[in-house]
Chain A
Amino acid sequence: MSDREKNERNHKVVVPIGPQHPSLKEPGSFKITLDGEKVERAVVEIGYNHRGIEKACESRNYIQALYIIERVCGICSHAHTSCFCQTFEDLAGLEVPRRAHYIRGIVGELERLHSHLLWLGVASHEIGFDTLFMYTWRDRELVLDLLARIGGNRVNYGVNTYGGVRRDLEPELMEDVLHVCDLLEEKLKYYADLAMTESTLIARLKGIGVLLPEDVKKYSAVGPVARAAGIMDDIRVTEPYGVFREIAVNPVTDDHCDVYGRTLVRVKEMLEAIRLIRIMVKEIPDGPISVRPPRKLPVGEALSRVEAPRGEDIHYIRSTGADAPDRVRVRAPSEANWHGMSHMLEGFQLADVPIIIAAIDPCYSCTDRAIHLIGDGVNQLTDWAQIRALSIEQYKARGIDPGSIKIREF
């Protein structure tokens, strides 16, 4: 008996959602098997947006590859280039000036603000709360205008380059950054208050899309999805990089494990981002903003991690000594969050599906990669302890002692 006949006999309906615009304006397909209104089984099918980004990087030189990496994601373009530059600098042994680290940090936190404001708008639109959608997108314009002034473009800021940043922050621009922070803080406090007290919002979001801490570990979810389950996986806290070695980030977690928890985590993270921007603007040192990068990298491989607005972003470069990378791998945060999606959807109502999908802040174009495992694929997997041991070994070989980097336990 075919699946369809079985479903018909059991009075079950398979609803295809997507591939055009499933809750968000991006392509992805979901096959939802319904038992009445309840989602019994959900099959996630992605891969409609595969652009061959990694291969494109491998066929160009490093400078050209940077602008392709910037276009992996339209929202977290700075996080991707930061991570790619960090990997390049690791491999080349470049010492990035402190001022460049601070500018990267400021732009990174501004990006986090605009990404979370965008998400808050989209999520409120999904639940029919369009007033909040209008409010947050209006506020996001303030951040985007600021980013356009810093980088020269609203979305692909082009701030990062190998060995530092491309543009300096002028004093009057820093004053404007602080001014926007003041304006936004007031509004964000109102949204935080709204999220914690508004009864309709709580009733709509609480208890749906549950992903318990053990499931987070099982499906290796990252970012606000993991933090909403009480698991602190913020790279800025657990393995600080760049400016976050000097400025401590207050960890934001929640124990609701559901969509409501993810909302709270993101709203609180925005307030934390504003606090960090203020400190960075106050403490930014004088000095050069970049060092001259080499055109060719020495033979070797490097992997580095950056906390993007959606979670942990991993970039890998393997070099054969040429002026173009031999292999580039991008593990965007959405890629990790997709694995738990079926589990999050199952057992909830059909009407909850859009908001559960939107709650991981999925980025389809970030995600789509072609992976080909040779053989059984098991022998090629490296566990966390092995990766950690390898990275410590690699740092020590270059004369850097990772013991000086504080790693907090949670």
Chain B
Amino acid sequence: MKNKQERPGGLAGLAIKNLFRNPATQVHQFGEDGIQKGYRGKLLYDSTTCINCVMCMRDCPTGAITIKNLGTKEEKQMHAYLNLGRCVFCCQCVDTCPKKCLSCSSDVLLANFNRESLEIEL
């Protein structure tokens, strides 16, 4: 007599049961506090104070950040783009920015399935 689990479809019951179970892993096991205060996560950008000096672009070790003015010289429309695939999260741009329009957040859930969606606008 074969063991029940060795018979064809013996594991079907277990598989169906697993489908409706809660995930075994948790996003923040120790709550949001597990991420330390002052963590260097995704950048935050304040376009109103940016003066388009592009110092952040000059100091970025990997060339991950791009600042673009889509408006005119008089009426600025500042946009910042970040390539998450290139960014090493050193936050040198935050230190360099003379107007302090860049800052770090504790947002660390940045993984994605395709390379294109790693290029985001801040």
Give A residues with C-beta under 8 Å from B.
Answer: 60-61, 63-68, 70-71, 145, 148-149, 151-153, 156, 158, 161, 166-167
A67 touches B36 (CB 8 A): no
Please give me the residue from chain B that is nearest to A157 by CB atom. B40
Taking a contact as CB atoms under 8 Å apart, the answer to whether B90 and A167 are in contact is no
A153 in contact with B61 (CB, 8 Å): no
User: In the complex, which range does the number of interface residues on chain B fall in?
Assistant: 10 to 19
Instruction: State whether A63 and B91 are in contact (beta carbons under 8 Å apart), knowing that A145-B36, A148-B39, A149-B37 are contacts in the complex.
Output: no
A-B contact count (CB 8 A): 43
Asked if residues B90 and A67 are in contact (CB atoms below 8 Å), the reply is: yes
Are A63 and B38 in contact (CB-based, < 8 A)? no
Residues of B within 8 A of A (CB): 36-40, 58-61, 88-92, 95-96, 104
A376 to B116: give the CA distance in the assembly, Å: 51
Q: Which residues of B contact A148 (CB under 8 A)?
A: 36, 39
**Known contacts A149-B37, A152-B40; is-contact A158 B91 (Cβ 8 Å):** yes
B94 to chain A, nearest CB (A): 9
A67-B92, A161-B95 known; A153-B60 Cβ under 8 A: no
Give the residues in chain A near B89, CB-CB below 8 Å: 153
B39 near A152 (CB under 8 angstroms)? yes
| B61 cross-chain contacts in A, Cβ below 8 A | 60, 63-68
Which of A61, A70, A151, A166 is close to B95, meaning CB atoms less than 8 Å apart? A166
In the complex, what's the smallest C-beta–C-beta distance from B62 to chain A, in angstroms? Answer: 8
Partner of B38, one of A70, A71, A152: A152
In the complex, A195→B65 CA distance in Å? 50
Nearest chain A residue, comparing its CB with the CB of B59:
A63
Contact B90 A158 (CB under 8 A): yes
Check A64/B36 contact, CB under 8 A, given A153-B89, A158-B90, A166-B95. no
**What's the minimum C-beta distance from B33 to chain A, rounded to whole angstroms?**
11
**B residues within 8 A CB of A68?**
61
**Chain A residue, CB-CB nearest to B58:** A61
